[in-house]
Structure 1
Amino acid sequence: MRHWLALILMAMLLPGVVQADSNLPPAALANTQLPDAKQEAEAKALMETLRCVVCQGQSIADSNAEMAGDMRALVRGKVAAGEKPDAIRAWFIERYGPWVSYKPEMSAIAAPVWIVPLVVFFIGLWLVRGRFRQRSSNARPSDKGEA
């Protein structure tokens, strides 16, 4: 009975899995390089710094996700139109949030992420220094004439 129930559940879920990927062709510039080598180099460098919103562990240059292809096409289209990489990155950050960039800008929200580890490191150094001083003072022979 259990086997039949498992088969029925899998059969019900299969259409959703099959329909998860779209049947649309990839965006025009998703997998096609720009004719101008300088513009393509700018676009490629920018694509390396943008995170795929589907994979989140890969840049859009490395991801095979359909959304990454759309994002690559947007980058190439904007570079071909003459937009600067910083403006394109700002557009993506405005649209998807700051986490879309592998090169986040320093902000008041992100500052503790960089400052707290440094503070903890220096507190640790201070504590270790005090501990070594305490040990070295305990290891010295006393000056009371007990030699």
Structure 2
Amino acid sequence: MKRLILSLALCLLAAPVWAVQPDEVLDDPQLEQRARDISAGLRCLVCRNESIDDSNAGLARDLRLLVRERLVAGDSDDEVVEFIVDRYGEYVLLNPRATGSNLVLWLAGPAMLLVGAGLGWTYLRRRERAEEGRLEPLSDQEAERLREIMKD
């Protein structure tokens, strides 16, 4: 039973390795390694948060073949990535670039953190400076009414 569970666990862990089919693998090991490096940074548009190397979707296979085709044609790694981005948009990148409109998204989180910290600091500073003696003591009538309420 332990062997069955172990073999199932290994199969689940090794499943992404099976995504790249043997007929996709390039003969040149250096080109194949470059293709794997590029594919690791490209998002499968069907699976969303998987790289095309890890996905078994048909579109991921098409993208893997396209990457290899461009490498065989002599494109550099950057040219291959630019070709894919031009064709499918910047969403295809697993790690989006911090330029243009994406810069707003990259900077929004830290900016919100700084604004929140500034507001919190301002609130605490004002609270320290508030006058503590502003409360007036209860009048005799108020004190008597409070005693009556507390008895009930």
Change in 2 beyond 3 A, CA 1:49/1:30: farther
Q: Percent identity?
A: 30
Structure with the larger helix share: 2
The CA deviation string for residues 36-65 of structure 1, in whole angstroms up to 9 with x for no partner, is 221111100100111112222211100101
SS in 2 for 1:110: helix
Higher relative contact order (CA 8 A, sep 6+): 1
Change in 2 beyond 3 A, CA 1:57/1:31: farther
The CA deviation string for residues 103-132 of structure 1, in whole angstroms up to 9 with x for no partner, is 322332212112222221111111111222
- From 37, 45, 52, the equivalent of 2:37 is 45
Alignment match, 1:63: 55
Unaligned runs of 5+ in 2: 1-20, 134-152
Aligned length: 113
CA distance in 2, matches of 1:59, 1:45: 11
Aligned 1:23-42 pairs, distance under 5 A: 31-42=23-34
CA distance in 1, matches of 2:44, 2:34: 18
Q: How far is 1:96 from its partner?
A: 0.7
**Are 2:101 and 1:109 aligned?**
yes
Q: How far is 1:138 from its partner?
A: 5.1
Q: How far is 1:67 from its partner?
A: 1.4
Runs of 4+ in 1 over 6 A off after TM superposition: none
SS in 2 for 1:59: coil
- From 90, 97, 100, the equivalent of 1:98 is 90
Alignment match, 1:26: none
Unaligned runs of 5+ in 1: 1-28, 142-147
**TM-score scaled by length of structure 2:** 0.64
Contact 1:30–1:73 under 8 Å retained in 2? no
